[in-house]
Structure 1
Amino acid sequence: MRIGVLALQGAVAEHIRSINSAGAEGISIKRVEQLESIDGLIIPGGESTTIGKLMRKYGFIDAIRDFSAGGKPLFGTCAGLIVLAKEIASGEEAHLGLMDIKVARNAFGRQRESFETKLVIKGIEEPIRAVFIRAPLILEVGKGVDVLSTYNEEIVTARQGNLLVASYHPELTDDYRLHQYFVEMVKEAALTEKL
């Protein structure tokens, strides 16, 4: 399995390390044509407005929508969650608009209010370590969205079909089990495609 990490901004090397630890091959994606060579894509954290602008500039918006429409899984972490959302609470225009969620930016406050915690995730046996840095929050989910975890009764991990999102940075710890969960999603999607 080859899983790409959109390399426009954010913790690309850390995601690649986690993918490799989870048993797949992680590669950095800088050009649209590289999407043809991968089975799944991670959109990392950073600044969602900047990522959205760069995606538009380099032609990634339609290319990633087509990638998703072809059944290939996407995983958005922190700002990547905002990029995947259908609705942003601030009224900002949605970027990819693929996942039926409404999100709020910087819902956990500024950089100095960053923290680390353990989260119980549906489908993963033991709690995982999660790092929250200026993290967004999922305010509402549509009917087809499965809530995988909450923190203080707020939604922080969710899945809708081949789309996975996390408010936090799983790549900033040595716990790669959420990446392993995504690798399994990618394997399932590849099997479905072959049938």
Structure 2
Amino acid sequence: MPTIGAVTTPTAVPEVTLETGPDASSATRPSVSIGVLAVQGDVREHLDTLRACGVHALPVRRPAELVQVDGLVLPGGESTTIDRLLRAFHLAEPLQERLAAGMPAYGSCAGMILLADRLVEAHAGQQTLGGLDMLVRRNAFGRQVDSFEADLDLADVLGGDHEPMRAVFIRAPWVEEVGDDVEVLASVEVDGVSRPVAVRQDHLLATSFHPEVTGDPRIHALFVRMVRQARDDA
């Protein structure tokens, strides 16, 4: 896997058509609101990508903002710092309640760690929101200088789209164990061992990598479909 010293400036995100067919008209489908947890990380890039997918996207820093959204993106950053800030902003408990009630959430990198039920090498006192039945290793791929890019095949979950997804991994976690109800969407081979880097369980989605920095909106479009489906089923 090629090594990159730093991630380049995020690529502009093209607008995305999420559905086609007679029932896909925006005039007949109510819009959804998706929040981006805005205490640390690539907040602007996630907001831009969601808006390119045709949804109302807003930053979430307070419980009053959390109640306004149908789904939430947990961006990358430093997982222990985000954990502390969630508690400082009195967001941890309301977030756990919304997740337990079925609110869709997508976690990228540190967001994957936050959604994990179990961690390897967690810092003392570090807590997660939980929800995904998996064991995640923090910083499994190494330090910042070990950041890399890889092409992933996600055709099975992207509607048969076989164009590889260029994935950027920055101090990224990987998944060491998953429960029976967790679907592994993509993996990367490390020293002959396949390590899951994209997973889904019910209303929760998580990736080790940062799709918001490449200009490829397909993971966000998948999450938007999950949010719309959850609202339609409510």
Q: Which whole-Å deviations, capped at 9, do the CAs of 1:64-86 have from their partners, x for residues lacking one?
A: 11111222101000001001111
Conserved 8 A contact 2:115-2:131: yes
Tell me whether 1:189 sits opposite 2:222 in the alignment.
Answer: no
Match of 1:94 in 2: 127
Q: Which whole-Å deviations, capped at 9, do the CAs of 1:143-193 have from their partners, x for residues lacking one?
A: 110001001121000001000000010100110000000000000000011
Q: Which whole-Å deviations, capped at 9, do the CAs of 1:114-152 have from their partners, x for residues lacking one?
A: 112221123112321211000001110011100010011
Percent identity over paired residues: 44
Q: Distance in 2 between matches of 1:27 and 1:166?
A: 21
Q: Which whole-Å deviations, capped at 9, do the CAs of 1:75-122 have from their partners, x for residues lacking one?
A: 000001001111111154431122111000111111111112221123
Match of 1:78 in 2: 109
2:63 to 32, 53, 56: 32
TM-score, normalization by structure 1: 0.96
Match of 1:58 in 2: 89
TM-score, normalization by structure 2: 0.80
Query: Which amino acid in the other structure matches residue 133 of structure 1?
Result: I
Match of 1:116 in 2: 149
Query: Which amino acid in the other structure matches residue 19 of structure 1?
Result: L
Matched pairs, number? 193
**For the pair shown, which has the larger CA radius of gyration, 1 or 2?**
2
Q: Distance in 2 between matches of 1:149 and 1:135?
A: 14
Match of 2:136 in 1: 103
Conserved 8 A contact 2:151-2:165: yes
Q: 1:149 to 1:163 in 2, by over 3 A?
A: same
Q: Distance in 2 between matches of 1:173 and 1:3?
A: 20
Higher helix share: 1
What SS does the aligned partner of 1:159 have? Answer: strand
Match of 1:46 in 2: 77
Tell me whether 1:155 sits opposite 2:204 in the alignment.
Answer: no
Unaligned regions of 5+ residues in structure 2, if any? 1-31
Q: Distance in 1 between matches of 2:224 and 2:164?
A: 18
Q: Distance in 1 between matches of 2:90 and 2:179?
A: 28
What is the CA RMSD across the aligned residues, in angstroms?
1.1
Instruction: State the 4+ residue runs in structure 1 displaced beyond 2 angstroms.
Output: 91-94
